[in-house]
């Protein structure tokens, strides 16, 4: 059973089929989204290919004659990804079933059971590829419940037009936050960017491979130890593209330190001054979406799940695709091959 048909789930499915398993008979893919595209289908309208983290091609996508390298950058990214993924699923006949919302995975004696809607299915192995989009992280600050404006999380953001003429505070130091700020610049009457730590901008075109490798290593170490996964952007920084540099020069992308508390009509800063706000956008990252796996009791006291090389250390029947060091699109592709091989090896032993 593969849960999730985003990039990680499709990558695993591709390699499972390549290793001889037949979709719909030997393995089943469930996806709760209304259509193809994984979390990309739910992203905001203004997001374009090239303005977000790089999207790597799925394994075997070259057979379709399409690539994200030369994808249309004038169309919404959600539309392009959904189209490519739909073609991919059809080409490889992966038979993804949707919308199917898995509510829990549990043991019934020696059986591994996946419950969804009002039905259930037993399986020998579960590949969890649910990603993080459904579990946005929103840190707590004093007075949050007193705020009369809107708290908006990244998945809730639709377009800048919602905030026309409003005072908006954007919280977060990643690419989503900078994207929101650049889009809101022409709509909001007042715009403030705040981050918990200083933002490191990388020179345009600089790959900073050492920082990238270090960030992945941190993710891997945390996953193996069962700790909560650290932020990736804190270890890699943000690329100083021409668009970003222009925003810095205009004063849009200049971050302030975090406010100390929230009040009914705005925020209070550490120096005691007050700023009015109609909305606070929390672009503060995500946590792995693992609630449906709670009955298996995989979570460690350190707050995470112990995962090494894509496999749960507590239960060898549970695999994690796109978790921790695999969260990047390139990492998810590599993990797809590795996890598929492990699944087939486990089934062979059975």
Residue 166 has pLDDT above 60, yes or no: yes
Both 51 and 74 in a single domain?
yes
Exposure string (b/e) for 58-90, b if CB count within 10 Å is 16 or more? Answer: bbbbeeeebebeebeeeebbbebbbbbbeebbe
What is the pLDDT confidence band of residue 335, given thresholds at 50, 70 and 90? confident
Q: How many domains does the chain have?
A: 2
Say which residue the tokens 């029947």 belong to. 317
% of residues, the chain, pLDDT over 90 = 67
- SS3 track for the chain: CEECCCHHHHHHHHHHHHCCCCECCCECEECCCCCCCHHHHHCCCCCECCCCCCCCCCCCHHHHCCCHHHCCCCCEHHHHHHHHHHHHHHHCCCCCECCCCEEEEEEECCEEEEEECCEEEEECCEEECCCCCCCECCCCCCCHHHCCCEEEEHHHCCCHHHHCCCEEEEECCCHHHHHHHHHHCCCCCEEEEEECCCCCEEECCCCCHHHHHHHHHHHHHHHHHCECCCCCHHHHCEEECHHHHHHHHHCCCCCEECCCEEECCEEECCCCCEEECCEEEECCCECCCCHHHHHHCCECCCECECEECCEECCCCCEEECCCHHHCCHHHHHHHHHHHHHHHHHHHHHC
User: At CA 124, angle to CA 128 and CA 345, rounded to 5?
Assistant: 85
- Say if residue 71 is in the same domain as residue 103: yes
Tell whether 210 is covered by a domain: no
Whole domain around residue 329: which residue ranges? 2-134+286-349
Query: Average pLDDT in the 312-318 region?
Result: 92
Together in a domain, 261 and 310:
no
The tally of CA atoms less than 13 A away on the side-chain side of residue 7 is 27
Specify if 223 maps to a domain: no
Q: Position of tokens 């650049």?
A: 182
Q: Is the pLDDT score of 185 beyond 60?
A: yes
Of 229, 252, 282, at which residue does a domain stop?
A: 282
Highest mean pLDDT among 143-147, 197-201, 283-287: 143-147
Residues 294 and 193 in one domain: no
The closest alpha carbon to 108, from 129, 123, 128, 89, belongs to 123
Examine the domain organization and report whether 275 and 322 are in the same domain.
no
Q: Which of 282, 310, 339 is the last residue of a domain?
A: 282
Give domain status of residue 207, yes or no: no
Please enumerate in sequence order all residues whose Cβ is within 8 A of that of 137, keeping only pairs 6 or more positions apart, or say none.
284, 285, 286, 287
* Confidence grade of residue 210 (pLDDT, cut at 50, 70, 90): very low
More confident residue, 195 or 203: 195
Give the residue from 344, 348, 282, 287 showing the smallest Cα distance to 319.
344
Q: Is there a single domain that holds both residue 193 and residue 249?
A: yes
pLDDT single digits (tens) 2-40: 999 999 999 999 999 999 999 999 999 999 999 999 999
Residues 6 or more apart in contact with residue 323 via CB below 8 angstroms: 128, 223, 288, 305, 307, 310
Chain segment 109-159, per-residue pLDDT in tens:
999 999 998 899 999 999 999 988 888 999 999 999 999 999 999 999 999
Tens digits of per-residue pLDDT, 90-113? 999 999 999 999 999 999 999 999
What is the predicted pLDDT for the residue at 282?
97
Q: Where residue 324 falls among pLDDT bands split at 50, 70, 90?
A: low
Q: What are phi and psi of 212, to 5 degrees?
A: -65, -45
pLDDT at residue 286, as a whole number: 87
Q: What is the pLDDT of residue 149?
A: 97
Query: Does the residue 73 lie in any domain?
Result: yes
Do the strands 190-195 and 167-171 form a parallel or antiparallel pair, or are they unpaired? Answer: parallel
For residue 219, being part of any structural domain is answered with no
**What are the structure tokens assigned to 145, written together?**
């419940």
* Together in a domain, 32 and 121: yes
What pLDDT does 36 receive? 96
164 and 260 assigned to the same domain: yes
What proportion of the chain, given as a percentage, has pLDDT over 70?
86
Residue 122 in any domain: the answer is yes
Same-domain status, 55 and 113: yes
More reliable by pLDDT, 254 or 330:
254
290 is a domain residue: yes
User: The domain that contains 150 carries what CATH number?
Assistant: 3.50.50.60
| Whether 36 and 160 share a structural domain | no
Assess whether pLDDT exceeds 90 at residue 257: yes
Q: Give the end of a domain, one of 229, 260, 282.
A: 282
| Residues 6+ away with beta carbon under 8 Å from 207 | none
- 161 and 100 in a common domain: no
Q: Tally the residues of the chain.
A: 350
263 occurs within a structural domain: yes
Question: What integer is the mean pLDDT of 66-74?
Answer: 92
Q: Which residue has the tokens 């019934």?
A: 108
User: Is the same domain home to 34 and 21?
Assistant: yes
């Amino acid at each position: 059973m593969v849960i999730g048909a985003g990039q990680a789930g499709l990558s695993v499915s591709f390699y499972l089929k390549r290793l001889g398993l037949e979709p719909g008979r030997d393995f089943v893919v469930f996806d709760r989204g209304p259509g193809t595209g994984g979390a990309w289908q739910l992203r905001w309208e203004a997001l374009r290919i090239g303005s977000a983290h790089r999207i790597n091609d799925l394994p075997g996508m070259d057979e379709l004659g399409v690539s994200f390298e030369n994808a249309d950058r004038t169309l919404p990214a959600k539309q392009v990804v959904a189209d490519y993924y739909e073609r991919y699923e059809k080409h490889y006949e992966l038979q993804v079933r949707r919308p199917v919302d898995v509510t829990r995975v549990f043991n019934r004696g020696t059986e591994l059971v996946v419950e969804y809607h009002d039905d259930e299915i037993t399986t020998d192995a579960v590949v969890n590829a649910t990603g993080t989009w459904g579990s946005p992280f929103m840190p707590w600050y004093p007075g949050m419940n007193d705020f009369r404006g809107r708290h908006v999380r990244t998945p809730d953001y639709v377009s800048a037009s919602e905030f026309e003429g409003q005072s908006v505070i954007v919280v977060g130091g990643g690419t989503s936050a900078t994207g929101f700020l650049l889009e809101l610049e022409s709509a909001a009457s007042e715009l403030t960017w705040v981050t918990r730590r200083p933002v490191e901008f990388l020179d345009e075109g600089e790959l900073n491979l050492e920082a990238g490798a270090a960030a992945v290593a941190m993710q891997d170490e945390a996953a193996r130890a069962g700790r909560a996964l650290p932020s990736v952007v804190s270890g890699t920084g943000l690329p100083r593209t021409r668009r970003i540099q222009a925003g810095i020069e205009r004063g849009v992308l200049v971050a302030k330190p975090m406010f100390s508390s929230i009040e009914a009509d705005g925020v209070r800063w550490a120096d005691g001054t007050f700023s009015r706000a109609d909305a606070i956008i929390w672009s503060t990252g995500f946590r792995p979406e693992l609630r449906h796996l709670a009955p298996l009791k995989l979570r460690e006291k350190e707050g995470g799940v112990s995962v090494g090389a894509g496999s749960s250390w507590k239960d060898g029947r549970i695999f994690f695709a796109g978790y921790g060091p695999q969260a990047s699109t390139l990492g998810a592709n590599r993990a797809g091959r590795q996890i598929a091989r492990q699944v087939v090896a486990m089934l062979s032993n059975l």
